[in-house]
Structure 1
Amino acid sequence: MDESTPVQVGIEANHRPIPGSERRVVAGAKRIAPVDPNERITATVLLRHRASTELVHRIEELSTLPFATRTHMTHEEFSTNHGADPSDIQKIREFANQHDLTVEQVNLAARTVILSGTTSSFNQAFAVDLAHYEHPDFTYRGREGAIHVPEHLTDVVVAVLGLDNRPQASPHFRIYNEEAGQTRALASQISYTPPQVAQLYNFPTNVNCSDQCIGIIELGGGYTSSNIDQYFTNLGLPSPTVAAVSVDGSTNQPTGNANGPDGEVDLDIEVAAAVAPGARIVVYFAPNTDAGFLNAITTAIHDTTNKPSVISISWGGPESSWTTQGMQAMNSAFQDAAALGVTVCCASGDNGSTDGVSDGNVHVDFPASSPYALACGGTRLTESGGTIASEVVWNDGSNGGATGGGVSSVFALPSWQSNANVPSSANSSGQTGRGVPDVAGDADPASGYQVLVDGQQFAIGGTSAVAPLWAGLLAIANHTLGHPVGYVNPLLYSIPSQDGAFRDITSGNNDINGSNQLYQAGPGWDACTGLGSPNGSKLIDALSQVGSASEIH
């Protein structure tokens, strides 16, 4: 048999597949050879919540409470009541011991167990056949089919991630200039500093957010303190306090290539810190795999040292590129965030209504499509005399990108979107699901953000910039209101339109090919810019007064 041919892995009689764990080969990749059976690797096992029904009920109750009466769990309360059950941890230890795997790390609050061992041991333990695959752009260790666990663990194990280490997500930023393969926006450029964008969106001024911490998730690249210091010196602002946290062995490693992932890292730090003066910034660096992404998020959410109140995520990929178990694992982590009063802001993607998938269907980006994430879409902003002259959907076509948005094929329509007139999916299924995005902000590279990356100054756009923009605004809200807004989505959809908290974007579409215009901007919520861009001061005032989610307008 050719070594590139998958072998039939024996599945013990009492083993069952983990629902939604099936993997297919990356399009355009081919199997090269089996992984060396003696190669040592790691994998992350996610376990069920304790008292999961009670947790869901508590989060549902949160979504109906006015802001002023909301209370959130402490980290200690959450870990004790809803972290992993120690008896479940023991079952995993016994399973690992039976299969010559080592328990490297246990996080009770995050419900994760990191296992290490040889490829041969993992193949046998989970009935997989790990092999090397080659794609024109990368190589990866992968698998096909489902992951299996013993029957007595089927209710215990929610997901097993990291056996397949294909790149899971892409950064959602766009550089205006055509450099190093980056695409050029099809418009003349007018760029802004983040404080200028904040001023146009009426963010409160003279605030000191030193009591707030913003967490930023990064799956590559890095920053240098000297670059950050120089950027803020150029702005005439104090340099922020920035710290890096290593997850799964990844560290702050600047590549020196301003067009690479360093662009994402510096953009996120510079936008968030510039619009929320004084806020501490903590950057969680992790490998770009499904396990790395999850572990970065759970590390941030359950970080009892830094305790970020807002988390910004500018990486993602089409729902169709994920396993169901991977999406459910991260969605579950975002539930944890909701219970703890942590807001998660996610970029909605830069490839329009198809999210870059060329199968003839429309797609939305994950993790933005999680109902527990604040999905951030993009606009093109034009300023005149210090005020907004016009604002439309960001759509530069296939050469320049467009805001992501549409209807999830995975997550059901949340109750707080029930009166938002979310359309049925434009796909032939016509299903009704969670609408993306929730909110918007300046994202067009042609009206982008002036940043400093690896010592080079230029403009960057993309919905990557909108997630830290909103993270900064919500950090200001947390400081101003003296209480975390936390799971903010139900509150935002409860704000009466006459309160003026949003600038309604009514012009444009996110059909990147310019032909079908499936999702159009219009009055109220739409699948291009959500509820609209913020009027910061009015939004914060409205949040302090908002009633229950049943009052959705």
Structure 2
Amino acid sequence: MGPSEHVVPGSRREALPGARRVGDADPAETVRVTVVLRRAAPRSGAPADADELVLVERFARDHGLSVTATSPAARSIGLLGSVAQMNAAFGVSLGRYSTDGQTYRGREGDVHVPRELADVVVAVLGLDDRPQARAHFRVAHDPRGARVEGVAPRAATSGYPPREVARRYGFPTDLDGTGQTVAVIELGGGYRTADLTEYFEKQGVKRPTVSAVSVDGAKNTPGGDADGEVALDIEVIGAIAPGAHIAVYFAPNTTSGFYDAIAAALHDTRRKPSIVSISWGEAEAGWTPQAMDSYDELFADAGPLGVTIYAAAGDDGSRDNGTGDNVDFPASSPHVVGCGGTTLAPTGEVVWNDSATGNGATGGGVSVHFGLPPYQAEAAVPSSPRRTAGRGVPDVAGDADPLTGYQVRIDGRDAVIGGTSAVAPLWAALTALANQRGGTRAGEPHERLYAHPAAFVDITSGDNGGYSAGPGWDACTGLGSPRGEQIVQILGG
């Protein structure tokens, strides 16, 4: 681009640790990106300005790019073009990178747009197609010390039916989520209808209505490692709230695919989800600021729409698969309810931390990107690793230890799976019950949850590596695990 170029703030991207550029990307390779625009007005839920959408569309045509989708509500435009066209349009140099046996299309440095779009475009997502997020589920190690890969039959030797976990937490038994739609975001894998039929029959629960929604060309594709995540999400929600409709939004595991899936769920005028469950994420250090900020703006739309969003806090302790303490995004968004993990013992709960045996530990800590939200002003959140006042993660907790995990059925086999991936759908199901009870939509619940600490079982024992549990909110289990009936009363109004 010429001297009129403008750097999109927060767009600088680094290569993955240990990755090396092995060459330029094929100039003819097709690239799909999502361009995110600012709001037309400074309020949550405000759409993009119609004239500014036209400006971006004109820019796209000038560079030979095709407009694949336009969403004023999500403030986004989908563009399709070749690597060569994207390089020219956004002032980048896309290359092929290699790391840990995988290759990806990537970039380093900033993204650029013309100066006339400087105050219009807030993010350009998807130029880089590295896997952006990880599924936060865990299968326990084999007792003999070998990792149980996939879904070995011997993994299904213990664990709880989801309805038993719900019973332990005092979920009401006179509700089934009727009238609610729970959106589940999946960035890989799939489910088999036969598995769901067998699973719910074995659990003694009517099979819920489950539908697959394709986003950016991704589809329900069972047979991969991520099937465990998909099954866990559907089966936990379906066992506890079988009357709810479960809509599974499948999208590519890229910054644009993830964004588009969330936008599709929030603004789905056909299914109208009241709850979104997200079990995928990555340490904040693995995201660009432009991506986190544009996602956070999208999450801010949820409240006015009456949608509640839950996200797993991660399964790698306070480091979250990074160097030093990290929190997981999107759980760190102030508009998302971050879900931490416990070990559910016969007589109580402690922080989930099986790091010594390789079985993971709950994520949690303090954001270095998002400031302290008002609802956490009295929570005694410690300073962030940068000594700033940051958003504390998680907000709530639930059983996540794979050794006290959830019975599921995946690819024709029974298994027991845990991870904070189980906690997001657990809370999603509880919220479906609350919405049914109140005949309403809970929306963003943070202020109500933090105003009622007695509605939680306070977890005061254990740590996640960098932080220890204690009375009140902590960076391991947040406010604690739910007292189901009380949470239903709070959220159901």
TM-score (norm 1): 0.86
2:10 counterpart of 1:20: yes
Residues 213 and 250, structure 2, Cα contact 8 Å, conserved in 1: yes
Matched, 1:101 2:65: yes
1:535 aligns with 2:492: no
Offset, 1:98? 1.3
Determine whether 1:390 maps to 2:348.
Answer: yes
| 1:197 aligned to which of 165, 168, 178 | 165
Cα separation, partners in 2 of 1:299 and 1:542, compared to 1, 3 Å: closer
CA–CA distance in structure 2, aligned partners of residues 165 and 307 of structure 1: 29
- Does residue 481 (structure 1) correspond to residue 438 (structure 2)? The answer is yes
Q: Which residue of 2 aligns with 1:214?
A: 182
1:272 to 230, 233, 237: 237
Matched, 1:504 2:448: no
Aligned residue among 281, 289, 292 for 1:327? 292
State the Cα distance separating 1:118 from its structure 2 match.
Answer: 1.6
The reply to whether residue 374 of structure 1 matches residue 332 of structure 2 is: no
Q: Which amino acid aligns with 2:351?
A: V
CA shift for structure 1 position 338? 1.6
2:35 alignment partner in structure 1:
45
- State the identity as a percent: 51
How many residue pairs match? The answer is 486
Q: Which runs of 5+ in 2 are unaligned?
A: none
Partner of 1:287: 252
Instruction: State the AA in 2 paired with 1:288.
Output: N
1:351–1:404 Cα contact (<8 Å) kept = yes
Displacement after TM superposition at 1:276 (Å): 1.3
Secondary structure at 2:194's aligned position in 1? helix
Instruction: Say if 1:277 and 1:206 are closer, same or farther in 2 by CA, change over 3 A.
Output: farther
Q: 1:363 aligns with which of 326, 338, 353?
A: 326
Please list every run of at least 4 consecutive aligned residues from structure 1 whose deviation after the TM superposition is greater than 3 angstroms. Answer: 177-184, 187-190, 542-545
Cα displacement string for residues 274-319 of structure 1 (whole angstroms, at most 9, x for unaligned residues): 1112110000000000000000000000000001100000000000
- Secondary structure (helix, strand or coil) at the match of 1:391 reads strand
Which residue of the partner structure matches residue 374 of structure 2?
415
Alignment CA distance shift 1:174-1:135 (3 Å): same
Cα distance 1:543–1:244, how it changes in 2: closer, same or farther (>3 A)? closer
Q: Is the 8 A contact 2:141 2:148 kept in 1?
A: no
The 8 Å contact of residues 308 and 442 in structure 2, kept in 1 or not, is answered as: yes
Match of 2:209 in 1: 241
Tell me, in whole angstroms, the C-alpha distance in 2 between the residues paired with 1:34 and 1:190. Answer: 50
- For residues 71-470 of structure 1, the aligned pairs below 5 Å read 82-178=46-142, 179=147, 181=149, 190-255=158-223, 257=224, 260-357=225-322, 359=323, 361-383=324-346, 389-398=347-356, 399-425=358-384, 427=385, 429-470=386-427
Provide the C-alpha distance between the structure 2 equivalents of 1:543 and 1:210, rounded to a whole number of angstroms: 16
Residue deviations 1:219-244 (CA, integer Å, cap 9, x gap): 00000111101100001111110000
Partner SS state of residue 89, structure 1: helix
Partner of 1:61: none
TM-score with structure 2 length normalisation? 0.96
Give the letter aligned to residue 371 of structure 1. P
Q: Which amino acid aligns with 2:239?
A: A
Q: Which residue of 2 aligns with 1:63?
A: none
Supply the AA of the counterpart residue of 2:348.
S
Instruction: Answer whether contact 2:139 2:148 (CA < 8 A) is retained.
Output: no
Structure 1 unaligned blocks of 5 or more: 1-10, 57-77, 384-388, 512-517, 546-553
Counterpart-to-counterpart distance in 2, 1:208 and 1:268: 16
Q: CA deviation at 1:364?
A: 0.4
Task: Report the 3-state secondary structure (helix = DSSP H, G, I; strand = E; otherwise coil) of the residue aligned with 1:434.
Answer: strand
Which residue identity lines up with residue 128 of structure 2 in the other structure?
D
**Equivalent residue for 1:549?**
none
Contact 1:311 1:471 in 2 (8 A): yes
Q: 1:452 to 1:181 in 2, by over 3 A?
A: closer
> Is the CA contact (8 Å cut-off) linking 2:207 and 2:242 kept in structure 1?
no
Q: 1:544 to 1:278 in 2, by over 3 A?
A: closer
Residues 207 and 277, structure 1, Cα contact 8 Å, conserved in 2: no
Residues 1:212 and 1:176: Cα distance change in structure 2 (over 3 Å): same
CA drift of 1:37 comes to 1.5
What amino acid maps onto 1:403 in structure 2? T
Distance in 2 (alpha carbons) for counterparts of 1:318 and 1:506: 25
Q: Residue deviations 1:71-117, cap 9 Å, x none? A: xxxxxxx5xxx212110111011101211111111111111111111
Residue 471 of structure 1 deviates from its aligned partner by 0.3
User: Aligned to 2:25, which of 27, 35, 53?
Assistant: 35
